[in-house]
Each structure stands twice: as structure tokens, then as C-alpha cells.
Amino acid sequence: MVNVIKAPEPIAIPVAGSDDSFPVHRVFCVGRNYAEHAREMGHDPDREAPFFFEKHTSALLFAPAPDGANFPYPQKTSDVHHEIELVVALGKGGNDISVEKAFDHVWGYAVGIDFTRRDLQGVAKKAGRPWEIGKSFDHSGPIGMIHPIGESGHMAEGHIRLDVNGERRQDGNLNELIWKIPEIISYLSELFTLQPGDLIFTGTPAGVGPVVKGDVLDGHVEGLSSIRVTVT
């Protein structure tokens, strides 16, 4: 059988320190997973179960420092926000994964940004509509090289930060995550059959804000390769 149109290119992210790559299956994202960020968005962090949305895999933008990648300012918005996040890469899938076993499913980690068309997301929130157009647009998921856990170890703490034009905008620690990585994996696995290749953006610390054309964003998580994004 012959494909009637050109098949989409598989999406794969390079692995740090090797010529290997990590093929991506899906991209899940956790909402409001740091208390200060939940508060800055007008919510009470103590009263919410974890919740999720997805970005399309084609929205990933490989942006390893030092050169990074260009982020074309997207259409139909005038309020694009940066959200620096730790990304978990799953090497093993499954359903109903226990919190105790969840780390066995992690292959590695990367730095990511969950770019958000905040104005469109705001309209969707008010109208009770899905977040797709606010969250899952082209280039909305910059990501750095994936580090295997052998190298990074399991990540429960460490600085996470984002600078815009050399000025610190977001500064947090992974130990402030409301829902910890094993809890996120366990909870998600009750909702979806997780697959090898699934990525999870784990939420952003406080300090989110708008970007404009010309901005240079430097994202960093302690122990991982940094990312750089230039807004064009």
C-alpha cells in the first residue's frame, strides 16, 4: 500500500552526550503545579487535583543552548507568556502505575517552555472551552536535549529558572512542585495508557509573563542542558 499524501516526519529529540534520539509519542502538560504560580493566576493551590492538557508533538521546538532556536511570534494573539518547565520523558508505559513504581517508567529529563497565548486561553477559560488554541500552537513547546536518568539522577529538587534578555523572570525549585513527578505519572496512568515516548511538562513556577519580538529567553534546570529561544 502506498500513502496517498506524504507521511508526517516522526518527532524525535536528541539525547545529551550521544548521537541517539528520543522518539516522542505524546506531550502531556500539568496545569498550576507550583503554589505561587497558581496564586498569580488567581487560584487556591491547596484545593485542586492535578489536571492536564496536551500539546501536539509537532509543536515541539528543539532549542538547545548556546544557539537555541527562533520562536516566530504566533498569530491571533498579543499576549504570549513564557512558562519554564521540567520535562519528564517516559521510557516505559502502562496503566495504573503506582507512585512507588513510577520512577521506573522515567527514561530521562529535559528543560522545556510551555508557551501560552494567554489572551486566547483566558477567553477559553471564561467560556468553559478547551485550551488547545491557547496552548497547542506551532512552536509552543521549546525543549532541550534529553538527559538519561543515569546521568541526571531522579529529579526531586534543583533550581529551575528563566531569564529574558539577561534579567531573571522565573526562579523556583523542583522541590516546590505540588504534585511530585511519581504522583503525576501515577495519576496520568489512571486516565491514559501511558506509552514509551510520552513527555510530561510538569508545570511552571511563578513569574510568567509576556514576551515580545526580539526577546532572548534562557531556560535552565539544575543538572540539565539549557535552552535558548529568540522571539522573532
Site residues (CB under 5 A) for Mn ion?
A: 83, 114, 204
Residue whose CB is less far from Mn ion, 145 or 200:
200
CB of 4 to Mn ion, least distance (A): 37
CA-to-CA distance for 191 and 95, rounded, in angstroms?
Answer: 8
CB of 124 to Mn ion, least distance (A): 14
User: Which residue's Cβ has the minimum distance to Mn ion?
Assistant: 114
CB of 199 to Mn ion, least distance (A): 13
At 206, which helix (H) or strand (E)?
Answer: none
CB of 163 to Mn ion, least distance (A): 18
Beta strands 106-113 and 60-62, pairing class:
unpaired
CA-to-CA distance for 228 and 68, rounded, in angstroms?
Answer: 4
Residue whose CB is less far from Mn ion, 15 or 160:
160
Residue whose CB is less far from Mn ion, 114 or 198:
114
DSSP 64-80: BTTT-EEEPPPSS-S-E
β partners of residue 194: 94
Residue whose CB is less far from Mn ion, 114 or 163:
114
CB–CB of 74/210 below 8 Å? no
CB–CB of 230/71 below 8 Å? yes
CA-to-CA distance for 189 and 194, rounded, in angstroms?
Answer: 6
CB of 116 to Mn ion, least distance (A): 7
CB of 32 to Mn ion, least distance (A): 8
DSSP 8-state secondary structure symbol assigned to residue 45: G
Residue whose CB is less far from Mn ion, 114 or 218:
114
At 188, which helix (H) or strand (E)?
Answer: helix 181-191
Residue whose CB is less far from Mn ion, 38 or 90:
38
